[in-house]
Amino acid sequence: MDQLRERYQASREAVLLRIAGTTPEPIAVVILRNRLKPTETRKLAQASFAFEKGPERRLRVDLMSASRTFRGDLLRPHKSIPGDSVVYQLLEGTNVSVCGTEIWDSGRSLLPRCDVEALTIAPDGEGATRIAVLLRCADEK
């Protein structure tokens, strides 16, 4: 991927999204951000008691792009990924990338069992952690 980044002077995010849009392999790319749901953000803006525990940030979908052969539903924006996903290890700051095999829920159905490869990418304009995830259908190797 680094060779493609250098050749085209593109970000990791752009290269991964382009690969997902052009490959015949059953893959998807998901861009995640560690944040609250919009409804949770609005609720926090309202007055509340100091003893009330507010919502916790989760890794939520900003964008998902899949190849034509990927066999799962697209994850909708703001959908959180499973709380036990290996991807959360990237928030600890000790890993540059992580891998695992997981099944994610799209909210409508379960995605196929996928090999998950994730790495941190440039933060958003507010400094929130962003992560790019490559999902490869594990049963179709």
Q: For position 13, what pLDDT does the model report?
A: 87
Quickly state the pLDDT bin for 33 (edges 50, 70, 90).
very high
Residue 46, SS3? coil
For the chain, the average pLDDT equals 87
Class of the CATH-defined domain 2-44+53-140: alpha beta
Rounded Cα distance between 112 and 118, Å, is: 17
pTM for the model stands at 0.86
Q: Please list the helix, strand and coil fractions of the chain in percent, rounded to the nearest 5, in that order.
A: 25, 30, 45
**What are 112-139's pLDDT values in tens digits?**
999 999 999 988 888 888 999 999 998 7
**What are 91-118's pLDDT values in tens digits?**
988 888 999 999 999 988 999 999 999 9
- CA distances 99 to 18, 86, 109, 134, Å, are 21, 7, 23, 10
